[in-house]
Amino acid sequence: MGRGDVAEGLFSITELADELGVTPRAIRFYEAKGLLEPQRAGATRVYSHRDRARLQIILRGKRLGFSLALVQKYLDLYDADPTHKVQLEHLLAGARQRIAELEAQRQDLELTIEELREIEELTLQALAVAPAERKSSQSKASQPSKPVRKGKKP
């Protein structure tokens, strides 16, 4: 399948993968999950513009953190509802849920960063004190020790 076929609206798996920046293996994975259903020309997978659009939706959903099950539901709604109203409502609900999840993660990350900065500061303080303590213990070690007297006590 050459570049001329793309003008007719058909893509090979390699052409589609190259165009969308994924591997053919990833495309086969989405096909195995039932998200893509390419036509076959003998043993060769042939992808249409519809398959390309579906793959773009899959990749965008993945990038935004949606589960494949949620993406599958979205794609199924697209096929079932010519007005796309239900699909858009589903998309809106999913987007709002994902925003809430990401905001919660951001709060958790901010708390973790704050704790790590406190640890960093305490560690820097400990490192600053450590050289002074080493000098003190080294100077004590370099002082001659007093002889220990055996025998009678004074």
Nearest in space to 35 (alpha carbons), one of 53, 17, 9: 53
Higher-confidence residue: 109 or 144?
109
Task: Tell me the fold of 1-66.
Answer: Multidrug-efflux Transporter Regulator; Chain: A; Domain 2 (1.10.1660)
Confidence of residue 4 (pLDDT cuts 50, 70, 90): very low
Work out the burial of residue 55: count CB atoms within 10 Å of its CB; fewer than 13 is exposed, 13-18 middle, 19 or more buried: buried
Q: What is the reported pLDDT for 42?
A: 87
pLDDT digits (tens, 9 = 90+) for 31-41: 999 999 999 88
Could you give the CA distance from residue 4 to residue 21 in angstroms, rounded to a whole number?
Answer: 20
Identify the band that residue 6 occupies on the pLDDT scale cut at 50, 70 and 90.
Answer: very low
Distance CA 126, CA 132 (A): 10
Residue ranges of domains in the chain: 1-66, 81-125
Higher-pLDDT residue of 58 and 131 is: 58
Query: What is the C-alpha to C-alpha distance for residues 107 and 110, in angstroms, rounded to an integer?
Result: 5
Q: Please, are residues 115 and 121 in contact by the beta-carbon 8 Å criterion?
A: no
Please state whether 45 falls in left (phi above 0), alpha (psi between -120 and 50) or beta: beta
Name the DSSP letter for residue 41: E
Taking only the tens place, the pLDDT of each residue in 102-126 is: 999 999 999 999 999 999 999 999 9
